[in-house]
Amino acid sequence: MSLRMVHFGLIVGTLVAAVGIGRRGFADEPPQKVALLVGVNEYRSRKFAERPLSFAERDVKDLAAELKRQGFEVHLLTGSDATKSKIDEALKVVLKGRAATDLVFLGFSGHGVQMPLLDGQGKLVKDARGADRNDAFFCPVDAVLGDGSTMISFNSLFDRLDTQGGINLVLVDACRSTPPDPDKGAARALSGDELIGRIPRNSVIFFSCAAGQEALETAKAGGGHGVFFYHVIEALRGGRAAAPDSTEVSWDDLVRFVRAEVNLRAREWLPDRAARADLRTPGKLQTPHILSNLVDNPVLARITRNSPAPRGFAESIGIKLKLIPAGTFQMGSSKEEDKDAEINELPRHEVRISHAFYLGATEVTQGQYRAITGESPSKFEGSDDLPVEQVSWFDAVRFCNALSVKEGLPAFYRIVDQTVSVSDWRGPGYRLPTEAEWEYACRGRNPARYSFGDDAADLGEYAWHLDNSGGKTHPVGQKRGNAFGLHDMHGNVWEWCWDVYDAEYYRQSPGTDPSGPLQVRFRVNRGGGWFNSPHVARSAHRNWGSPVIWGFVMGFRVARVQSGG
């Protein structure tokens, strides 16, 4: 993790809102969405090279991926390609001929400086009171400190956007305090003071921090981002920023989300800096700040909501189900991508889940288990919201059948003594997920080691495990959910799956809807528990146990086909 002392990340979004016929022809012609994103970590100039950035380029690359998902045509310049001349040419291409309803994003991430503003003859520009007028500059990879002609003028860019009107959204990720190497004052962090009173109508500037604060970056932010930029990207992904009943992410949604998260996460991810910051501004490490003349509230992204289960689905005992859409994913691990990959996770292979299905948003709780069975088998006590444990695989399938019967559905499993079979995999009753369904749901479309990324340091936000559980289970749903809205897929208690376990199964597993081998002794369980190390909680990690043996680490969650009920 490091400090972005003179890091300047700028995103400008221009949505020209006008009534009438656009430049390309007709009023009902759909608007175009285009983006120019620029990121620089390391510079040619010695003065800038002494303070390299770690994640500026990743900021814009991840933003580019998100904007492409939202239908943007993206132009991306990073590293040695991000020269002053190439940025100028790209700006001409992106801004030329924009129709009244076109949406343009300009994003810059790298170093920024603030210097006195010079006119065409190299003389200082004065304001109305005779004081020197300052300008903020974004620094391309070939920028020369002190020479504004080698940089992108922030004031000039704003003037240019002002002439084409519309809604201008400017996001700036830069320190707003003096860097530790003042170099005779030649390079100062961005203040933004010269922009006060100069914000055009329907425009806004969203700074990553308040005056006097530092903009931070860390490897803990999604594997490596500026803290501010990371949350901007998360907001555009939509699931966490959009209103609960909305499928759109507006500017107000983004601001609300980023403001709520940045200071909180900065303090959590950089506790040493938080402790020092408390000496100056208690509780305030990095607080985003806005200068606004915004009139409209443009929609920035549209999302697909994970539909809740219809009424009648497990509502009798309060189980909440989430719809998991059909899809294809890479199941298992590879040694090349994951040093912790185990032999039974190999090879990594493509699996298609051909049907949508519902899965419990959390593990079955002690209260829910008692409501169906009348039993309280768990070792840990104190709350009905604790996950039920000390249940065998047979206990779990019997629970599923009993829940089905309680809600007037046919039992999903046929149980005869110690034999359990399925006559109709499309039957409407409750069941355990297959191992493939479980891993697909756990990943939430994320191919990384965990549902949130590769960095085990972030696991504590999503899971109760050895390092944070205190040697016990915890009420379900307290940790952050994955992209499908599922909680505790990592940690808390192990979860039984339907499948029989075979260490070699992946070598001959069907490519569509695998349900495990036959006639083998053990049953699969997944997810890790409260006493396991982080590597055990990985999405691909496999475990097994006897179906008749229970332990104070074993629990489960229920599934049901989409068409049931």
β pairing state of 167-173 and 7-15: antiparallel
| Cα 216 to Cα 270: distance, rounded to the nearest angstrom | 9
Question: CA 264, CA 1: separation in Å to the nearest integer?
Answer: 16
pLDDT at 564: 41
Q: Which tens digit of pLDDT belongs to each residue from 418-434?
A: 899 998 888 999 999 99
Q: Residue ranges per domain, the chain?
A: 2-302, 321-561
Residue 18 CB coordination number (10 Å):
12
The separation between CA 394 and the C-alpha centre of its own chain, rounded to angstroms, equals 37
> CA-CA distances (angstroms) from residue 7 to 54, 172, 217, 267, 555?
10, 9, 9, 19, 47
Give the SS3 label for residue 300: strand
Tokens of 236: 């555009």
Q: What is the pLDDT of residue 488?
A: 97
Q: Do residues 74 and 33 lie in contact, with contact meaning Cβ atoms separated by under 8 Å?
A: no
pLDDT tens digits for the chain (565 residues)?
444 544 555 555 544 333 333 333 444 457 788 888 999 999 998 888 888 889 989 998 988 888 788 888 898 999 999 999 999 999 888 878 777 677 788 888 888 777 777 666 667 777 667 777 777 788 899 998 878 889 888 778 888 877 776 677 888 887 776 554 434 333 346 776 777 778 877 778 888 888 778 888 988 887 789 898 898 898 888 667 887 678 888 888 888 889 988 988 888 888 888 777 665 566 678 899 888 888 888 888 887 666 666 666 776 788 999 999 888 899 999 998 899 999 999 999 999 998 899 999 999 999 999 999 999 999 999 999 999 999 999 999 999 999 999 988 999 999 998 899 998 888 999 999 999 999 999 999 888 999 988 999 999 999 999 999 999 999 999 999 998 889 999 999 999 999 999 999 999 999 999 999 987 789 999 999 999 999 999 999 999 999 998 888 999 999 998 754 3
In this prediction, residue 197 carries a pLDDT of 79
Maximum distance among all alpha carbons in the chain? 94
Per-residue model confidence (pLDDT) at position 260: 86
Q: Assess contact for 331 and 540: CB atoms under 8 A.
A: yes
User: What is the C-alpha separation between 372 and 334, in angstroms, rounded?
Assistant: 41
- 514 vs 350, 434, 518, CA distance in Å? 11, 8, 12
For domain 2-302, the CATH class is alpha beta
| pLDDT, position 77 | 96
- In this structure, the strands spanning 2-4 and 215-218 are antiparallel
Could you please state the CATH topology (level 3) that the domain comprising 321-561 is classified under: paralog of FGE (formylglycine-generating enzyme) (3.90.1580)
pTM over 0.85: no
pLDDT for res 25: 40
- What's the confidence (pLDDT) of residue 134? 77
Q: Which 8-state DSSP code applies to residue 386? A: S
The span from the CA of 326 to the CA of 352, in Å, is 8
Q: Between the CA of residue 151 and those of 11, 52, 61, 101, what are the distances in Å?
A: 16, 17, 21, 29
DSSP string, 418-441: TEEEES-TT-SS-BPPPHHHHHHH
Q: CA Rg, the chain, in Å?
A: 27
Q: Are 46 and 181 in contact (CB under 8 A)?
A: no
- Crossing angle (nearest 10°) for helices 393-406 and 366-373: 70
Please give the Cα distance from 85 to 163 (Å, whole number).
22
